[in-house]
Amino acid sequence: MKKIILLFAIVALSANYASAQKSQKKAAVQKVDSITVNAAELADLIVSDAKKYLGRPYVWAANGPHAFDCSGLTKFIYAKFGYKLGRTVPGQMANGREVQGGFHNLQKGDILIFGSRGDKKRPGHVAIFIELDSTKNNFTFIHAASKGVRIDEYKTTYYRERFLTAVRIIPDFVQPAPAAPHTKEQLDSIYSNVVLPPPPDTLKLDPADRRVVLFDDGTWVMVGENGEIIRPKEENKEEIVVIYGNGTWRDIPLSQKRIPEKREDIVAAQAQRPAPQQPEKKYHTVKSGDTLYALAVFYKTKVSEICRLNGIKETDVLKLGTKLRVK
């Protein structure tokens, strides 16, 4: 009986020891798995892990690790970091948050959605975003393409035409791009309700701000520094006021300043001017040995002008007795 009890005790101790060893081993694994990393570091780990499978062949519906299709690769990689993604492209689109603001707001590790080969607008392909290049107009991504797991660029015509959107699985760590500046319509809307202060109801002029007001009948008045109107004295007809561009003015004798004519006088004077005289016409009768060049030299004109006046070409043959206008 004692032997049986002792045997049970030994078995129990062995079981407890094995359980303790197993628990210690499990605790060690959990400790490794529970290492805390920030979102940026997590994105680096995701991309680095995906790059380990570069060159693996593409096989439709393959889940890895020896072969992949596009959604099989993303599902396989993200599962390593505790994220359970759908097996299809639409399913993985539903797993994440759509990235707003275009690809300038993408961050490493985002899942890119491309149109299918047969329909550019229908989601049919996924990839993992790596980074923007220095121009900020192109980016690289890793995916399982028809030629296997590889890295490609957005600027490639095939992918540029099919890029639809992106979804984010991990937490945000990239600051969104600044909002676009206001459009003209938005600015008009903002400032349409701005009320400007009313203009002053009084006017004060400095001495340098004095002005002369001319009337249609040829009379004039001067505006004083307080805004009052000052008419010229009758006995001061031999003086006029000249205003300069800088706002200053002075009186000068009439003999030193020519007063412009009234508009109607100008119009009448123009009507009385004789019409400009037309240049005197000159003609030449073609004689033996005449050429257009010789005539142009003799009459101090140009060959092209003689041709224009007579409607001929420089290559035309001059006929004897023809009357040409040379002026």
Q: Which residues are catalytic?
A: 70, 125, 143
Phi, psi of 214 (to 5 degrees): -100, 140
Token digits for 195? 């009320």
3-class secondary-structure state, position 106: coil
- Amino acid identity of 73? L
Whether the bond between 178 and the residue before it is cis, its omega within 30 degrees of 0, is no
- Cα(117)–Cα(101) distance, integer angstroms: 25
- Cα(284)–Cα(4) distance, integer angstroms: 153
Q: Which residues pair with 167 in a beta bridge?
A: 98, 111
Q: Which of 154, 159, 166 is nearest to 89 (CA)?
A: 166
Q: Which residues pair with 165 in a beta bridge?
A: 113
Cβ 92 vs Cβ 31: under 8 Å = no
Cβ 83 vs Cβ 92: under 8 Å = no
Token digits for 225? 């520094």
Find tokens 């490493």 and name the residue: 108
Q: Which residues pair with 63 in a beta bridge?
A: 68
Distance of CA 140 to the CA centre of its chain: 23
- Who contacts 244 (Cβ-Cβ below 8 Å, separation ≥6)? none
